[in-house]
Structure 1
Amino acid sequence: MNFVFFIIFALMNGVFYQQEYERFEKPFDTSFIQVGEELVYEVKYLFFKLGQVKFKVIDKFTNNGKQFYKVRVDIDSYSVPFVDIHAKFEAVFDSRFIAHSYWSEQREKKYYQSVKYKLIENLPGYVVEKNYHNLEYNTRGNKIDTVKITTLYCDGPSLFYYARSNAYIKKTVLLPTFIEGVKGITLINFGKKKTRVKIDAFDSPIETYEIDGKANYIGFFGLTGNFTGWISSDKMAIPLKGKLKLFIGNIIVELKSWKKGQNLINLK
């Protein structure tokens, strides 16, 4: 992505006068990222409950003086007529939220796909491997590419935690985002306002920071376009609710349960 693209993208969104280009040059506050934390969300479309998304921090380690985090994301649809999706992700990122390695696996009734990539810092770039198996036509494919980069990138999982770390800061940023092995840009407006949000998991409304933005790529399950999110204003910065656009239309993602370490937090 060259600098001209960033200017055009910012002008199109009317935020050129205030946007920042995130270079991931310094560590962020990651004190809220705790091994064992588990966030479970329910996905809703209109009056239908489609499935669940679970984020879990499974490891924290130091390598060459840098702090790293390993997270796992599981997506499972319920038994509904028009959706049958089961996917797993594992990602490793550092305290700057730079994507270092990633693995995903997607299974449907007639299709399987896996994506792996790893940051090679002396290239600099990512080595990306994609595999698929179309069960309906019994076709298979394997492809390995090297994607060179001129800046640093976050990815889908690390973007989730980046948003938590920055929710309280009033700024607009353009985030270089590496999605399933493809370069993209995520624009996010942070710290727009404080507001109270009511979700089913809590008896009372919770004070949150509202964020919004736009993804200029087509991500997993057709994620693209505008989104809005609400993140708790306390030190744990828990994403409580989000409005996203997927291939089926606009959906709501809402927190269902939160486990801190080995303890399930009673949200009621």
Structure 2
Amino acid sequence: MSSAPHRFPPRRRRLRAMLAGGLLAVATQGAVGAPTSLAAQTAAGGAARPLAFGIGESMVYDVKYGMFNVGTARMEVVGLDTLRGRPVWHTKLEISGGIPGYRVHDVLESWIDVETFNSLRHRQETVEGKRERTKVYEIYPERGVFREDAKPERPTVANPLDEGAFIFFVRNQPLEVGRTYDYPRYFIPDRNPVTVIAARRERLTVPAGTFQAIVIKPIIKSKGVFSKNGRAEIWFTDDERRLMVRMETHVVFGTISLQLREFSQGATP
């Protein structure tokens, strides 16, 4: 048992990176402004779409390593909140699972300004075996800086997004198959731009049902599964909801995927 944490972390790191998007970070993984405040999306390239989600939206996934279930994940819009006097969307991505002898419970939370669609706070809670760690990023778009816990402030980009927020942002973009989109909005500047390739349309079946989907390939400047060599893909429903129904990455040891098991639509505020 004592040797398990040293044997399995490479798989666990890839699993978490895919889920959280590294979940785009992407993805992947994490909200967007109200229907009347999508100017930030238009500025990033393309006309704004109707709001793709609502308060209370929840998506539950089976996490698979090949054919084997290794955990579950949940992505949800918790609700509307207030942060520093600003109305914000509070979103959460949670994963629980692992393999015998090594369990993982990770939580990513985002607080996104409803009017500007900028990330204002990002929280990461990680339990890996016997290790626990929490990081909180306070992001100040109006001053162009962010701070990790009690560390000194560092510069950020003009319209910052964290991993979770990026997934919801992409859902609301007018993706056209065959086009490549570059978004210089990741809150840590040296990881920009985040590239999204709208690859194709296809029909697929997951535990939640059969869906017509648009498939994207996210690429972020990192060494993880969303790097150019990560071969990651995300399936969004090809409708106004843009539900993330599948996320998959091919790695040396096999395939890791999230497959939608159940979902509930949120209420428009």
TM-score normalised per structure 1: 0.70
2:244 aligns with 239
**What does 1:152-167 correspond to in 2, within 5 Å?**
152-166=159-173
**Selected match of 2:259 from 249, 254, 257:** 254
Task: Please state if 1:125 is matched with 2:132.
Answer: no
1:226 aligns with 231
Task: Please state if 1:43 is matched with 2:73.
Answer: no
How far is the alpha carbon of 1:33 from its aligned partner? 1.9
Q: Calculate the aligned-residue CA RMSD, in Å.
A: 3.3
Q: Which has the larger radius of gyration?
A: 1
Q: Distance in 1 between matches of 2:49 and 2:78?
A: 19
Q: Deviations over 1:55-105 (max 9, x none)?
A: 111123588997631101211005x22641101122111355422111111
Q: Is the 1:223–1:247 Cα contact (8 Å) retained in structure 2?
A: no
Structure 2: 5+ residue stretches without partners:
1-41
Code of the aligned partner of 1:76: S
User: SS at the partner of 1:157?
Assistant: helix
More helix by share: 2
1:196 aligns with 203
2:26 aligns with none
TM-score normalised per structure 2: 0.70
Instruction: Report 1 or 2 for greater relative contact order, CA contacts < 8 Å, sequence distance ≥ 6.
Output: 2
**What does 1:46-65 correspond to in 2, within 5 Å?**
46-60=66-80
How far is the alpha carbon of 1:54 from its aligned partner? 0.5
Q: 1:102 to 1:28 in 2, by over 3 A?
A: farther
More strand by share: 1
Structure 1: 5+ residue stretches without partners:
1-21, 130-142, 263-268
User: SS at the partner of 1:154?
Assistant: coil
How far is the alpha carbon of 1:145 from its aligned partner? 3.0
How far is the alpha carbon of 1:168 from its aligned partner? 3.5
Aligned residues: 222
Q: Is the 2:120–2:139 Cα contact (8 Å) retained in structure 1?
A: yes
1:74 aligns with 94
Code of the aligned partner of 1:57: V
**Selected match of 1:211 from 211, 216, 221:** 216
**Selected match of 2:113 from 87, 94, 98:** 94
